[in-house]
Structure 1
Amino acid sequence: MSDFASTVSGIYQQTLSVIEAVEPRIAAATRAELTDQRGSLKLIASENYASLPVLLTMGTWLSDKYAEGTSGHRFYAGCQNVDTVEDVAAEHARELFGAEYAYVQPHSGIDANLVAYWSILAHRIESPALERLGAKTVNDLSEEDWEDLRATFNAQKVMGMSLDAGGHLTHGFRHNISGKMFRQHSYGTNPETGLIDYDKLLADAREFQPLILVAGYSAYPRRVNFARMREIADEVGATLFVDMAHFAGLVAGKVFTGEENPIPYADVVASTTHKSLRGPRGGFVLATKEYASSVDRGCPMVLGGPLSHVMAAKALAFAEARQQSFQVYAQQVADNAKVLAEGLMKRGVKLVTDGTDNHLVLMDVSSFGLTGRQAESALLDSGVVTNRNSVPNDPNGAWYTSGVRIGTPALTSRGFGAAEFDKVAELITDVLKATTPVATAAGAPGKAKYTIADGVAARTHAAASELLDANPLYPGLEL
């Protein structure tokens, strides 16, 4: 064991002993989580493994400090150290992505998207209204003026990718706040190819005239032409907002360049720091200088006090992503996704868009007679962790679904390469072929219950263990 591994192992052992003295169930659950993550094939596209330094950074007394506001302009005294943390994190984010401005306070991806939406509204609607009325802030408005402004906010339009085409809940889904705060229109994909039809998107945008055009995805297995999205936004006078939560690591790692890199084309970009970026759970926003002052009002506009200990961990993650080794990792993520996709297709698994250009693969499991929920559960029983997901025009809806989404960031972090991912494709196919849906009591096709042929789950577990043991998670860390 290296000196570093030995030191970190000792730190975690002592930390868990302290926790155990207060509430042993929490210490036990923490140990069990590491055991579970070490012992399963983590293929959830939105999950990864943060480095031990990033994890350690979150367990400090920075957690104890309130710091509403922004660096140098806080609503609490004694924030000089938080200012340093936020400044360093924002600096690394700007340099990593080549952005004009970075805001690192959002607690999550949804928070980052809300900051983006309200910043655009403040810039496009509030500021012109205040100027027209001769007011400096909304506090200077009469109640009548304020009611007019509120009504104007609520009348705005957003256009984003539909959930079943691969978009996210925050892109205008009716049950999400984004679908309630905006008048919303979704764009889908070509029904034959599963790809974005930019010509149809332009035609729809011309008719709908959105204030905000959202680009980005959570389950679209291809790259986006952001130059084309910029052209569409410009033609209809929309602000281009990109949600790159899923593929931020591929942008940071220089896998997505040119017209596939959203930073030169978007007005505002929001993201998470986990997923493919391999940092702590949290969010951030990038913007042009034009939108910077509006984004800077994220707290108190929609956020509470920033989590200073998580901002510190974001700074470490951004710093790690600026290393050459991260570019090697990001390219391997994309290469592994292609191998995984090809391995599944050659074994008869149907994939949405017949492949992938990014870090994720979307399987249509209906050809096995399964719902996404049945497939997800059967795979979990076999030691393969995935998540069910809608496919375009999904007949089973968003709960049971017809698809399963898988991704390569986490296992690539463990050192998996082409050979391992081809084996993973084999294991997944074996489980799907061995799973049979169970009819309901009334004899109707079931959407949740299933059976797995005898011995398949155990054999898959054993094969997965061989792959995982050869690529250990946090080697040298013993609890």
Structure 2
Amino acid sequence: MSDSTLVSSVYRQALEVIEGVEPRIAEATRNELADQRGSLKLIASENYASPAVLMTMGTWFSDKYAEGTVGHRFYAGCQNVDTVESIAAEHARELFGAEYAYVQPHSGIDANLVAFWSILAHRVEGPWLEKASAKNVNDLTEEDWEALRRELGNQRLLGMSLDAGGHLTHGFRPNISGKMFHQNQYGTDPETGLLDYGALAAKAREFKPLVLVAGYSAYPRRVNFAKVREIADEVGATLMVDMAHFAGLVAGKVFTGDEDPVPHAHVVTTTTHKSLRGPRGGMVLATEEYAPSVDRGCPMVLGGPLSHVMAAKAVALAEARQDSFRSYAQKVADNAKSLAEGFSKRDANLVTGGTDNHLVLLDVSSFGLTGRQAESALLDAGVVTNRNSVPRDPNGAWYTSGIRLGTPALTTRGFGHDEFDAVAELIVKVLSNTQPGTTKAGDPSKASYTLADGVADKVKAASAEMLDKHPLYPGLELA
């Protein structure tokens, strides 16, 4: 029996079991595969996990509580979970060259919360407790704890602003990170859209943060983490890097030397999906100095770890250690350049003028559209993107003036230079044939739009021709 035949048999039987309990969920699952097969997935934070990764999540590890750490659980019977977590952490350390890996976080936001509180515990709580009069934390008075809470909640964080390409967990006010810290933000050069290390250093000297956050979710360029570490060291800050988006490029050795955050940061966080092509989840890498604090992620921030997802992380990380993953990661970066070049030669406006990572940020205001209008019109044509702010965005974070596009998912399907050039052409065709709408009062609308007749069908037909040449999960048949 071939691998594809075996996988098909497993999924057909699994769906039959689900159908016997709740047929609507089985139907939605079949529809989701059909939708993903039939659309151009260009969301930079999405990918396609292997059948091995997907199947690993559907096991009885889902039934197990395992708060604590390897060998030190608050529940009995966790010996197999210990094995799974140890293997996942081992793969993570070897893959990224990290001194320590913590694979329990349920998501990227959870990973960032673990990192933030670990840094606070290491830099603030630990030294404070050493000076406290009580010799045991259980003997501290309520007044002592109140003083410590004030100390923990009055620390400074400096992160990349949301419109410059940072993430909402890097100090954005509505997010918990913006409430935990006295926060400030750094941006990009107004002319080039590039990170200005001199300006970052000046802001760090002025603000003197305890935590300096680097990394991005919508910045289409590489970062020199050696320079950022120098800035952090100068002001006495802990350098935390969120590499959730580009972890696959680090794992695949596309980013090395000064562009690899792991040798330079004190703490590194990531998701395990996106460009890493694993299950949805998070992870924290750290130096030995910060390892004891990070290891307290549960119960400090997290509840019970998702053992079935940790198992899937182990499988995905094992896949990422194979030579084929390095080839894949390089193709992701090469394809992003092809997509950017395709836009540029069709006079579309790219933030920073291009890319040298896995994503492209397209300013759609030149088409007279908001990001929300562009996102919706493209979805009508079977092109899945997400709207995104551009630097100093006049439309704010909800409507935006841009769309973000990434190459990891379609690269997994086998798309190459010619296909991504064609994708750029299709996107420009949709946007050029979309007109913004108006409100009932006749004012310009930031949400409504009209796509010219026939354009969506033509784009879907052209897309289908490319997608048929690069099938998703080839050989997997559910009927």
Equivalence for 2:419? 420
Query: How many angstroms does 1:28 deviate by?
Result: 0.4
Residue 341 of structure 1 pairs with residue 324 of structure 2: no
Query: How many angstroms does 1:138 deviate by?
Result: 3.3
Query: How many angstroms does 1:412 deviate by?
Result: 0.1
Residue 466 of structure 1 pairs with residue 442 of structure 2: no
Equivalence for 1:278? 277
Query: For the residues of structure 1 that align with 2:136 and 2:405, how far apart are their CA atoms?
Result: 47
Correspondences of 1:69-88 after superposition (within 5 Å): 69-88=68-87
Q: Given the superposition, is the C-alpha separation of residues 434 and 358 from structure 1 closer, same or farther in structure 2, using an over 3 Å criterion?
A: same
Query: For the residues of structure 2 that align with 1:187 and 1:157, how far apart are their CA atoms?
Result: 13
Query: For the residues of structure 1 that align with 2:383 and 2:135, how far apart are their CA atoms?
Result: 56
Equivalence for 2:264? 265
Letter in 2 for 1:348: D
Equivalence for 1:40? 39
SS where residue 283 of structure 2 aligns? strand
Q: Given the superposition, is the C-alpha separation of residues 137 and 333 from structure 1 closer, same or farther in structure 2, using an over 3 Å criterion?
A: farther
Query: How many angstroms does 1:142 deviate by?
Result: 1.6
SS where residue 286 of structure 1 aligns? strand
Correspondences of 1:201-216 after superposition (within 5 Å): 201-216=200-215
Query: For the residues of structure 2 that align with 1:368 and 1:294, how far apart are their CA atoms?
Result: 49
SS where residue 190 of structure 1 aligns? coil
Query: For the residues of structure 2 that align with 1:364 and 1:48, how far apart are their CA atoms?
Result: 23
Equivalence for 1:63? 62
Runs of 4+ in structure 1 off by over 2 angstroms are 134-140
Residue 450 of structure 1 pairs with residue 437 of structure 2: no
Q: Given the superposition, is the C-alpha separation of residues 136 and 401 from structure 1 closer, same or farther in structure 2, using an over 3 Å criterion?
A: farther
> 1:138 touches 1:146 (CA, 8 Å); kept in 2?
no
Equivalence for 1:179? 178
Query: For the residues of structure 2 that align with 1:239 and 1:174, how far apart are their CA atoms?
Result: 21
Letter in 2 for 1:233: A
> 1:352 touches 1:362 (CA, 8 Å); kept in 2?
yes
What per-residue deviation string (whole Å, max 9, x for no partner) do you get for residues 357-380 of structure 1? 100000000000000000000000
Letter in 2 for 1:77: A
Equivalence for 1:241? 240
Residue 95 of structure 1 pairs with residue 94 of structure 2: yes
Residue 388 of structure 1 pairs with residue 387 of structure 2: yes
Q: Given the superposition, is the C-alpha separation of residues 433 and 459 from structure 1 closer, same or farther in structure 2, using an over 3 Å criterion?
A: same
Letter in 1 for 2:345: K
What per-residue deviation string (whole Å, max 9, x for no partner) do you get for residues 308-350 of structure 1? 0000000000000000000000000000000000000110110
Query: For the residues of structure 2 that align with 1:17 and 1:446, how far apart are their CA atoms?
Result: 46
Query: For the residues of structure 1 that align with 2:140 and 2:329, how far apart are their CA atoms?
Result: 50
What per-residue deviation string (whole Å, max 9, x for no partner) do you get for residues 8-38 of structure 1? 1000000000000000000000000000000
What per-residue deviation string (whole Å, max 9, x for no partner) do you get for residues 53-95 of structure 1? 0000000000101000000000000000000000000000000
SS where residue 268 of structure 2 aligns? strand
SS where residue 163 of structure 2 aligns? coil
Equivalence for 1:323? 322
Query: For the residues of structure 1 that align with 2:24 and 2:136, how far apart are their CA atoms?
Result: 50
Q: Given the superposition, is the C-alpha separation of residues 319 and 137 from structure 1 closer, same or farther in structure 2, using an over 3 Å criterion?
A: farther
What per-residue deviation string (whole Å, max 9, x for no partner) do you get for residues 276-323 of structure 1? 000000000000000000000000000000000000000000000000
SS where residue 285 of structure 1 aligns? strand
Q: Which blocks of at least 5 consecutive residues in structure 1 are unaligned? A: none
Equivalence for 2:187? 188
Equivalence for 1:198? 197
Query: For the residues of structure 2 that align with 1:170 and 1:392, how far apart are their CA atoms?
Result: 17
Query: How many angstroms does 1:136 deviate by?
Result: 5.6
Equivalence for 1:117? 116
Aligned residues: 478
What per-residue deviation string (whole Å, max 9, x for no partner) do you get for residues 398-456 of structure 1? 00000000000000000000011000000001001000001112121111111111111
Query: How many angstroms does 1:140 deviate by?
Result: 3.0
Q: Given the superposition, is the C-alpha separation of residues 229 and 53 from structure 1 closer, same or farther in structure 2, using an over 3 Å criterion?
A: same
Letter in 2 for 1:257: T
Letter in 1 for 2:192: T
Query: How many angstroms does 1:137 deviate by?
Result: 5.3
Query: For the residues of structure 1 that align with 2:468 and 2:44, how far apart are their CA atoms?
Result: 21
Query: How many angstroms does 1:264 deviate by?
Result: 0.4
Query: For the residues of structure 1 that align with 2:87 and 2:385, how far apart are their CA atoms?
Result: 35
Query: How many angstroms does 1:131 deviate by?
Result: 1.0
Correspondences of 1:293-312 after superposition (within 5 Å): 293-312=292-311
Equivalence for 2:20? 21
Please, what is the CA RMSD of the aligned residues? 0.7
Query: How many angstroms does 1:133 deviate by?
Result: 1.5
Q: Which moved more, 1:51-60 or 1:450-459?
A: 450-459
Q: Which blocks of at least 5 consecutive residues in structure 2 are unaligned? A: none
SS where residue 448 of structure 1 aligns? strand
Identity %: 77
SS where residue 438 of structure 1 aligns? strand
Query: For the residues of structure 2 that align with 1:221 and 1:446, how far apart are their CA atoms?
Result: 29
Query: For the residues of structure 2 that align with 1:339 and 1:313, how far apart are their CA atoms?
Result: 32
> 1:361 touches 1:405 (CA, 8 Å); kept in 2?
yes
What per-residue deviation string (whole Å, max 9, x for no partner) do you get for residues 145-179 of structure 1? 11110000010010000000000000000000000
Query: For the residues of structure 2 that align with 1:137 and 1:163, how far apart are their CA atoms?
Result: 41
Query: How many angstroms does 1:134 deviate by?
Result: 5.2
Query: How many angstroms does 1:139 deviate by?
Result: 2.4
Query: For the residues of structure 2 that align with 1:185 and 1:446, how far apart are their CA atoms?
Result: 32
Query: For the residues of structure 2 that align with 1:455 and 1:354, how far apart are their CA atoms?
Result: 31
Correspondences of 1:155-170 after superposition (within 5 Å): 155-170=154-169
Query: For the residues of structure 1 that align with 2:317 and 2:135, how far apart are their CA atoms?
Result: 36
Query: For the residues of structure 1 that align with 2:368 and 2:17, how far apart are their CA atoms?
Result: 50
